[in-house]
Amino acid sequence: MEPAWYPDSIDSNRLRWWNGATWTDEIRQVFPVDPAICERCGRAKRVPRFGTPPPCRWCESDVNGFMEMWRSQAWQVLTTSGPRGTGWNELWIALRFQRIHETSGREALRPLAIGYLERMVAFAFADDEIEQHELDSFQQAVTDLQLAVDLGVAQSRVNELRQRMLRGRSLTQVRAGELPRVQRSDLHLEADETPYIDVNAVQIKYTASGPRHNSGRIIGSSKKFRFVGAGAGTELPWAKIVSIASEYGNIIISATTARGGGTYSVPDPEYVAAVLEGALRIAKRLVLAPGQRDTRSIPPNIKAEVWQRDGGKCCQCGDSHYLEFDHVIPLSRGGATSVGNLQILCRRCNLEKGARI
C-alpha cells in the first residue's frame, strides 16, 4: 500500500497513517460526509443560501500556510531532481498526510510546472546547442508533469516550448554537418563545389556617419562563403573565417582579413548561421570531441545563479516567456561568460537590445 490514511482496524471511526512500511501512531477522526461539515476538522462551515460552501474557516489559514511551504518545496524538487523520484513522491505524500486534496496541489503546481519547463528550455539554449539528451529530458518532463498537472490553457505554451526545442535540435544537427543542398540553375560554382545555402541578405557596414546597407545574396558552399551585392562583394574560403554567430537578429562573421568579416541581416538568422557554421566546421574539421564543451557554453552553476538572481523573468519587461541568457557585453566584443556579464532577457527585449548596439 502507498502511504495514506486508512480505516483503523480497531475503531472504524478513526483513520490511521500507513507510512509505506508500517502503521504509525498518527490517528485522525472520521467525520460524516456533509457539505456543511469540514471533512478535515469536523467543524461546521458557513453555508450560504446559494452556491458551493466556502472553505472551512478553521482550516483555511493552516492549509494556506502549508501550501505556501509546499510550493517552495515543489520548486526545489523540480529544479534539483525533476518531476519524478523520491522527492517528487514525498510532495504528494505530504498533501495526503495533511488531508489536503490533491486538486489543491495540482492547481498550485500548474504555474510552477510552466516555469520549470521555461527554465529547462532557457538552460538548454544557453550554449545554442540542443543535444538529443536535452530534447529527451524535456519530452520526459512534459510527460511526467502532464500525469500530475492538468496544464489546461497552458498547453499551447507547452507546445511552443516543444517546438522551440525541436527546432533547436534541428539547428544543432545542421551545425554538426547535416547540411541541406541547394538546387538552383543560376548558381555558377566550381565543378566540385556543393552549395548549401542561397539567401537574400543585407550587408551592414558601420561607418563614422552611421550604418550603410548593401543588399545582395549570401551563398555558402563546401568551399567558400560569398556575398554577392550590387557593389563590391565578398568571397572567402573557409580557411580565412574564424567564427560565425547569430546575434540580435543578424549573423556576424569574423575573418582573418580586414575586408572579410561583416554583419549581415537575413530573414532567418539562426538557420542561416547554423548552415554556415556547419559548413565551416566540416571544412576546418571543427567537430567537437565527445565531452568537449563549446566555448559558448555556460556552466550549470552560473546559469542557476543568474536565473535565481533575475527571478526567472526578463530583466527589461518582466515577461516569463521565451527567455534567453544574454551577455551584457556580447561575446563577439569580448564579453565574459560570468554572472556579472549575464542576464535573463525575453526574445523581444534581446532583439531590441541588438538594435541599440
Which tens digit of pLDDT belongs to each residue from 290-302?
444 455 688 999 9
For residue 287, the model assigns a pLDDT of 54
Contact (CB, 8 A) for 70 and 108:
yes
Q: Please state, in angstroms and as integers, the Cα–Cα distance from residue 149 to each residue in 8, 106, 159, 188, 344, following that order.
A: 31, 5, 15, 57, 27
pLDDT for 180? 93
Say yes or no to pLDDT of 258 above 90. no
Give pLDDT, residue 289.
47
| Mean pLDDT for the stretch of residues 189-201 | 88
Residues 6+ apart with CB under 8 A from 16: 5, 6, 7, 8, 9, 23, 24, 26, 27
Band the pLDDT of 229: cuts 50, 70, 90. confident
Compute the distance between CA of residue 226 and CA of residue 133 in angstroms, rounded to an integer: 35
Question: Would you say the C-alpha torsion 115, 117, 122, 124 has a positive or negative sign?
Answer: positive
The predicted model scores a pTM of 0.84
pLDDT exceeds cutoff 90 at 187: no
Interatomic CA distance for residues 72 and 327, integer angstroms: 29
Residue range 188-205: mean pLDDT, rounded = 87
d(CA 159, CA 128): 20
Name the residue type at position 340.
G
Please name the residues in contact with 111: beta carbons below 8 A apart, sequence gap of 6 or more: none
In angstroms, the Cα distances linking 344 to 35, 94, 222, 316, 333 are 48, 34, 36, 9, 19
**Mean pLDDT of the residues in the chain:** 88
The three cell numbers locating residue 151: 496544464
pLDDT above 60: residue 357: no
**What's the average model confidence in pLDDT over 209-216?**
88
pLDDT tops 60 at residue 332: yes
Beta bridge partners of 349: none
pLDDT at residue 39, as a whole number: 87
pLDDT (mean) for 169-194: 86
Q: What is the mean pLDDT of residues 94-105?
A: 92
- Comparing CA positions, the residue from 279, 283, 262, 286 lying closest to residue 197 is 279
235 pLDDT more than 80? yes
Instruction: Give 87's contacts (C-beta < 8 A, 6+ positions apart).
Output: 77, 80, 81
With cell 504509525, the residue in question is 24
The three cell numbers locating residue 239: 580557411
First to last CA, the chain: 62
Cα 295 to Cα 90: distance, rounded to the nearest angstrom? 39
A 10 A CB-CB count for 74 gives 23
The 10 Å Cβ neighbour count of residue 221 is 20
What pLDDT does residue 79 have?
A: 94
- Measured over the CA atoms of residue 180, residue 269, residue 294 and residue 125, the dihedral's sign is negative
Per-residue confidence (pLDDT) for residue 35, from 0 to 100: 81
